[in-house]
């Protein structure tokens, strides 16, 4: 294939030969994506076409003719992959082209971050890279703080400390403050919290090799909220927003936390460790409390938190949890506006009591594989102990990473939920 190939979208059959009914049709040096005008699954099929066209060896896709914004974005999600994360040239007026190009660049940064190896991306490197990138987007409005290693204990961030203390790479809590008014007393309107486990061995609840292979993606929540933060800034965010990244490596060593340990959080909740592989909720608890201390009316956390969410959604949707039903409706509306699939799963006040302990307020999980029935809801219930119910949404981002390519996605990070969160911030 040539270095760049022109791609057209058509509702009329472009050829009358053997490929006349195909989704993707070749005509000379051009490629046509054929979708019937009334097809209810048009966007999904366009994403599938993008994947097929990339597989033909196309280096760069140049979109031409009449494409809507959502159609172009669906194509870009299907076409882009490792090594080609920005290789789409969009069609339309300058405003639309610039908008989609900036959006694709931010998704590419987030996806590339998720795809990096654990040797490349350890906790302090995740902190450094996130601060560097976001500062480059708004150098006069961004400030940051990193609390690392033993200093976490001094500040009471015991969840992040305990999960990460078994690694040679110290854990850290990152706070990035976007304050466009530069008024130190300006109200914090919203906070984002991301799970940044740069590698998850499972700790002493050791994962099998197959389950550990892709655990570089366990910082996908941090990559998604950082990407959403960046996208909102590029789209003209005027409110003060803070980002908290809970960064650690969950490793096995003589210093690692153990099953049966009891962790006492600064809000007085004590947690018995029933499973060291249920570490994400332990670090997010700190992030949610840090966010709550700002007084923000909206707190969104995102995490590759449970296999149960993957089992429930098939890795096609982001699983939503919250006790504020008005906010849940807003999230679903925002997701629909940007064409990102979400699905609300059960969460009630009593879910926080699903993981019982004789030695602490709660356990961090049930002592059975996957945390037992309702594992994703029980994890959300655990988190609800550390944040006010009003104004909080938890996203278990099951669709943030694909271990293997499929007919819609290349292997690796997807960036899904970035646009939804950015839409909520705006």
Query: pLDDT tens for residues 242-284?
Result: 999 999 999 999 999 999 999 999 999 999 999 999 999 999 9
Pair 160, 22 in one domain: no
Residue 94 pLDDT greater than 60, yes or no: yes
Q: CA gyration radius for the chain?
A: 22
Closest CA to 311 of 391, 374, 359, 383: 374
Domain assignment of residue 156, yes or no:
yes
Instruction: Give residue 54's domain range.
Output: 4-92
Residue 1 pLDDT greater than 70, yes or no: no
Pair 139, 14 in one domain: no
Closest CA to 286 of 232, 247, 240: 247
Domain assignment of residue 100, yes or no:
no
* The one catalytic residue among 84, 125, 207, 266: 207
Q: Round to whole Å and give the CA distance between 180 and 137.
A: 12
pLDDT, residue 215, reads 96
Q: Round to whole Å and give the CA distance between 391 and 123.
A: 28
In this structure, which long-range contacts are made by residues 409-412, counting pairs with CB atoms below 8 Å and at least 24 apart in sequence? 409/51, 409/77, 409/78, 410/51, 410/54, 410/80, 410/81, 410/82, 411/81, 411/82, 412/81, 412/82, 412/111, 412/114, 412/115
How many separate domains does the chain show?
Answer: 2
Contact between 81 and 54 (Cβ < 8 Å): yes
Cα three-residue angle 257-262-268, rounded to 5 degrees: 130
Residue 22 pLDDT greater than 90, yes or no: yes
Q: Which residues pair with 342 in a beta bridge?
A: 318
Contact between 192 and 283 (Cβ < 8 Å): no
pLDDT, residue 2, reads 60
Domain assignment of residue 130, yes or no:
yes
Pair 74, 148 in one domain: no
Contact between 140 and 220 (Cβ < 8 Å): no
Pair 193, 73 in one domain: no
Pair 154, 300 in one domain: yes
Pair 124, 88 in one domain: no
Q: Is 240 a catalytic residue?
A: no
Q: Round to whole Å and give the CA distance between 387 and 402.
A: 30
CA dihedral 317, 321, 326, 329 (to 10 degrees): 10
**Backbone phi, psi, residue 360, to 5°:** -155, 175
Domain assignment of residue 411, yes or no:
yes
Q: Give the number of C-alpha atoms closer than 13 A to the C-alpha of residue 231, restricted to the C-beta side.
A: 30
Pair 376, 237 in one domain: yes
Q: How sure is the predictor about 374, in pLDDT bands with cuts at 50, 70 and 90?
A: confident
Pair 224, 356 in one domain: yes
Residue 314 pLDDT greater than 90, yes or no: no
Residue partners of 358: CB distance under 8 A and separation at least 6 = none
Contact between 395 and 305 (Cβ < 8 Å): no
End-to-end C-alpha distance for the chain, whole angstroms: 41
Pair 27, 124 in one domain: no
Q: How sure is the predictor about 193, in pLDDT bands with cuts at 50, 70 and 90?
A: very high
Domain assignment of residue 113, yes or no:
no
Pair 83, 123 in one domain: no
Q: How sure is the predictor about 373, in pLDDT bands with cuts at 50, 70 and 90?
A: confident
- Helix (H) / strand (E) element for 30: namely strand 30-34
Q: Helices 375-383 and 280-292: crossing angle, nearest 10°?
A: 30
Mean pLDDT computed over 186-210 = 97
Domain assignment of residue 414, yes or no:
yes
Q: How sure is the predictor about 367, in pLDDT bands with cuts at 50, 70 and 90?
A: confident
Q: Round to whole Å and give the CA distance between 13 and 37.
A: 11
- Helix (H) / strand (E) element for 96: namely helix 94-115
- Helix (H) / strand (E) element for 362: namely strand 362-363
Mean pLDDT computed over 123-142 = 98
- Top pLDDT among 337 and 19 is at 337
Pair 55, 146 in one domain: no
Q: The domain that contains 379 carries what CATH number?
A: 3.40.630.10
pLDDT, residue 20, reads 82
Q: Is 207 a catalytic residue?
A: yes
Mean pLDDT across the chain: 96
Domain assignment of residue 111, yes or no:
no
pLDDT (tens digit per residue) in 24-82:
999 888 999 999 989 999 999 999 999 999 999 999 999 999 999 999 999 999 999 99
* Tokens at 359, concatenated: 């030695």
Pair 262, 370 in one domain: yes
Closest CA to 28 of 54, 55, 46, 8: 8
Residue partners of 139: CB distance under 8 A and separation at least 6 = none
Residue 362 pLDDT greater than 90, yes or no: yes
pLDDT (tens digit per residue) in 294-303:
999 999 999 9
Closest CA to 202 of 275, 266, 291, 151: 275
Domain assignment of residue 10, yes or no:
yes
* The one catalytic residue among 240, 281, 354, 385: 281
């Amino acid at each position: 294939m040539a270095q760049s190939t022109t791609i057209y979208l058509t509702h009329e059959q472009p050829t009358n030969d053997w490929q006349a009914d195909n989704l993707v049709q070749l005509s000379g040096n051009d490629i046509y994506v054929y979708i019937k005008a009334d097809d209810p699954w048009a966007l999904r099929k366009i994403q599938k076409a993008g994947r097929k066209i990339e597989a033909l060896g196309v280096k760069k896709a140049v979109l031409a003719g009449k494409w809507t914004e959502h159609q172009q974005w669906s194509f870009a999600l299907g076409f882009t992959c490792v090594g080609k994360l920005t290789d789409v040239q969009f069609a339309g007026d300058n405003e639309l082209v610039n908008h989609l190009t900036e959006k694709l660049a931010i998704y590419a940064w987030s996806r590339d971050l998720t795809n990096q190896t654990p040797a490349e991306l350890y906790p302090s490197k995740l902190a450094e890279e996130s601060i560097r990138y976001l500062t480059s987007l708004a150098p006069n409005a961004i400030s940051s703080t990193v609390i690392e290693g033993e200093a976490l204990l001094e500040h009471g961030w015991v969840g992040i400390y305990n999960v990460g203390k078994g690694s040679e790479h110290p854990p850290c809590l990152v706070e990035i403050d976007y304050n466009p008014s530069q008024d130190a007393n300006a109200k914090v309107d919203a906070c984002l919290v991301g799970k940044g486990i740069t590698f998850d061995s499972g700790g002493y609840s050791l994962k099998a090799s197959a389950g550990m292979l892709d655990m570089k993606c366990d910082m996908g929540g941090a990559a998604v909220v950082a990407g959403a933060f960046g996208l909102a800034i590029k789209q003209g965010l005027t409110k003060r927003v803070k980002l908290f990244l809970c960064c650690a490596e969950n490793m096995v060593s003589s210093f690692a936390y153990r099953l049966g340990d009891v962790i006492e959080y600064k809000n007085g909740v004590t947690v018995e460790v029933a499973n060291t592989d249920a570490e994400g909720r332990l670090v997010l608890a700190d992030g949610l409390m840090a966010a709550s201390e700002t007084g923000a009316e909206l707190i969104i956390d995102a995490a590759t938190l449970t296999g149960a969410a993957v089992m429930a959604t098939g890795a096609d949707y982001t699983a939503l949890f919250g006790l504020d039903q008005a906010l849940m409706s807003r999230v679903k509306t925002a997701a629909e506006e940007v064409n990102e699939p979400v699905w609300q799963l059960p969460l009630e006040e009593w879910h926080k009591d699903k993981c019982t302990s004789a030695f602490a307020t709660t356990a961090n999980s049930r002592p059975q594989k996957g945390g037992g029935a309702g594992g994703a809801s029980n994890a959300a219930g655990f988190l609800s102990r550390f944040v006010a119910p009003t104004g909080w949404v938890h996203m278990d981002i099951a669709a943030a990473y694909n271990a293997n390519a499929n007919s819609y996605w290349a292997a690796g990070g997807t960036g899904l939920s970035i646009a939804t969160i950015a839409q909520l911030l705006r």
